[in-house]
Amino acid sequence: MELLKQKITEQGVIVSDQVLKLDGLLNHQVDPKLTMEMGKEFAKRFGDAGVTRVVTVESSGIAVAFATAYELGVPLLFARRKKTLLAEPDMLCERVPSFTKGIVTDILVSREFISENDRVLFIDDIIANGDAARGLIKIIGRAGAELVGAGIVVEKCFQSGARAIRDQGIRLESLVRIASLDGGQITFAD
Ligand code: 5GP
């Protein structure tokens, strides 16, 4: 997506050769127009997959997942990262390392909103090592639902997550692929 590449070039802040800060458009502030365009693009790519539910992990995936679900005309379900007082005891739960927080967190989904009748599209903001995606894919599997694919806004190709997911035979589509952040420069893969 050329517009997204342009915004990333303008607003991305390289924190290290591993981490790109995208607070201006994804991880703190949301660009609604751009986000709706991302949703349209994912909906176009997965439009023939019979998606019944879009699933993401709070919080940065929610805006783009919402846009995608809106375009596909299906509900959006976001996994919670913390148990609340209202959490049901038998929620589907996976423990995943958090790339940015450097800690392990639980991601939780209520069985009420996902079932074996679902065809699920997983949407997220950025993929690095793939831990968040792997956790959610396990939850989708445990719910008995079918994962039709993963749509990721920014794929960092120099980390192993996207490759590992594709190696499992899962269709993973990304809107922008970053080959490297070396030398204080964003190098796109294509
Ligand atoms: P993973 O589980 O694939 O290692 O990391 C995925 C999550 O960590 C993403 O949802 C994203 O929020 C965060 N993340 C990973 N890499 C980056 C990065 O370079 N910049 C920012 N801002 N977040 C990242």
Question: Is 63 annotated among the ligand-binding residues?
Answer: no
128 is in an annotated binding site: yes
Which atom of ligand 1 lies nearest, measured to the CA of 125?
10
**pTM (2 decimals)?**
0.96
CA of 130 to the centre of ligand 1 (A): 9
CATH code for the part of the protein at 1-82+89-168+175-188: 3.40.50.2020
Residue 105 CA to residue 83 CA, distance in Å, equals 10
Residue 64: which H helix or E strand, with range? helix 62-72
Residues with CB under 6 A from ligand 1: 19-22, 27, 60, 99-100, 124-133, 161
Cis peptide preceding 60, ω within 30 of 0: no
Specify the pairing of strand 92-97 against strand 104-109. antiparallel
Q: What's the CA-to-centroid distance between 171 and ligand 1, angstroms?
A: 19
At residue 56, the 3 state secondary structure works out as: strand
Q: Tell me which of 64, 125, 180 to substitute to probe ligand 1's pocket, judged by most ligand atoms within 8 Å of the beta carbon.
A: 125
Q: Is 27 annotated as a binding residue?
A: yes
Determine which residue's CA is closest to atom 11 belonging to ligand 1. 126
- Please give the DSSP secondary-structure letter assigned to residue 132: H
Q: What is the DSSP letter of 190?
A: -
- Ordered per-residue pLDDT tens for the chain, 190 residues: 999 999 999 999 999 999 999 999 999 999 999 999 999 999 999 999 999 999 999 999 999 999 999 999 999 999 999 876 677 778 999 999 988 888 899 999 999 999 999 999 999 999 999 999 999 999 999 999 999 999 999 999 999 999 999 999 999 999 999 999 999 999 999 8
